[in-house]
Amino acid sequence: MKSSAWLLSIGILILLSLATACTGTRIEKADQEWISLFNGKDLTGWTPKFSGYPLGENYKNTFRVTDGILQVSYKDYESFSEEFGHLFYRDSFSHYRLRVEYRFVGEQTPGGPSWGLRNSGIMIHGQTPESMARDQNFPVSIEVQLLGGDGNEERPNANLCTPGTHVEMKGELITQHCTNSSSPTFHGEQWVLVEVEVRGGEIIRHHVNGRVVIEYEKPQIDGADEDAKKLITAGAEMMLTAGSISVQAESHPLEFRRIELLQLK
């Protein structure tokens, strides 16, 4: 009986292996580890770029670390005047899972745009900060929009926005700037966990608190966008399979207590 059971187990394992090979199913290694992109101490590994200012200048100390929290702070501002900022991580990535835990805090900075209320984002598959023009507001990228509730209206979170880019959904080219997800609204100053699954130029999925809220494929440069045209002239590929990761500063203060990445094959 023991011999028969052993042979049956081996047979099942062989069949499972063959099935996986035939269907092309990916199996991630269980021993892969999440790495923290933010060290909890300072901005080591990150570079700021603000519209109107040179690369590396952290305008009015907007990005800062306090008590282990990465803050987008407007404490040193009297008013906001389109100083849109992005904090870029040093490396580019292609296949990975990125998860951030964040919350909006306080009030929007005076002078901020109406759409900037409790609005920020994680930029993926982005251009390098070095390739951005001095007065460029946003990197050509795919934006995972972080959107908080205003206390009244429904505002889904982890939406898709496309500065200088397009994507496809179910074979259809999506050219509108933002597409809402199926996420619930998060009012107040609660912490929210957003995870992005990126498979190069294939599938990209946004997760909110463990649930998929939107997915799309074939991220690509918008050839009609002025910032994107400069990249095309410089030799950039139209289809996006890798790129920079950055977090936004768009006039409303927020905090990150976790920014982690898991490399996928």
User: How far is Cα 44 from Cα 67, in angstroms, rounded to an integer?
Assistant: 16
In tens, the pLDDT along 220-229 reads 999 999 999 9
Range 33-263: architecture per CATH? Sandwich (2.60)
Residue 250 reports pLDDT greater than 50: yes
Residues 62/74, Cβ–Cβ less than 8 Å: yes
- Would you place residue 205 in the very low, low, confident or very high pLDDT band (cuts 50, 70, 90)? very high
The strand pairing partners of 66, in sequence order, are: 69
Provide, rounded to the nearest whole percent, the portion of the chain with pLDDT above 90: 86
Residues 98/245, Cβ–Cβ less than 8 Å: yes
Q: What is the pLDDT of residue 32?
A: 73
Q: What is the pLDDT of residue 166?
A: 98
Residue recorded with tokens 């409790």: 118
Residues 214/162, Cβ–Cβ less than 8 Å: no
Residues 206/215, Cβ–Cβ less than 8 Å: yes
Residue 89 reports pLDDT greater than 90: yes
- Would you place residue 265 in the very low, low, confident or very high pLDDT band (cuts 50, 70, 90)? confident
Residues 102/218, Cβ–Cβ less than 8 Å: no
Q: What is the pLDDT of residue 9?
A: 44
The strand pairing partners of 21, in sequence order, are: none
Q: What is the pLDDT of residue 22?
A: 38
The strand pairing partners of 102, in sequence order, are: 192, 256
- pTM for this one? 0.87
**Domain locations in the chain?**
33-263
Q: What is the pLDDT of residue 21?
A: 40
Average pLDDT over residues 104-113: 97
Q: What is the pLDDT of residue 2?
A: 43
In tens, the pLDDT along 172-204 reads 999 999 999 999 999 999 999 999 999 999 999
Cβ atoms within 10 Å, residue 163: 21
- Would you place residue 20 in the very low, low, confident or very high pLDDT band (cuts 50, 70, 90)? very low
The strand pairing partners of 166, in sequence order, are: 220
The strand pairing partners of 258, in sequence order, are: 101
Average pLDDT over residues 209-213: 96
Q: What is the pLDDT of residue 41?
A: 95
**What is the chain's mean pLDDT, rounded?**
90
Residue 6 reports pLDDT greater than 90: no
Residue 86 reports pLDDT greater than 70: yes
- Would you place residue 4 in the very low, low, confident or very high pLDDT band (cuts 50, 70, 90)? very low
CA-nearest of 230, 45, 217, 250 to 140 is 230
* Angle 126-128-129 from CA coordinates, rounded to 5°: 110
Lowest mean pLDDT of 4-13, 102-111, 142-151, 178-187, name the range: 4-13
* Exposed / middle / buried, residue 121 (Cβ in 10 Å: 0-12, 13-18, 19+): buried
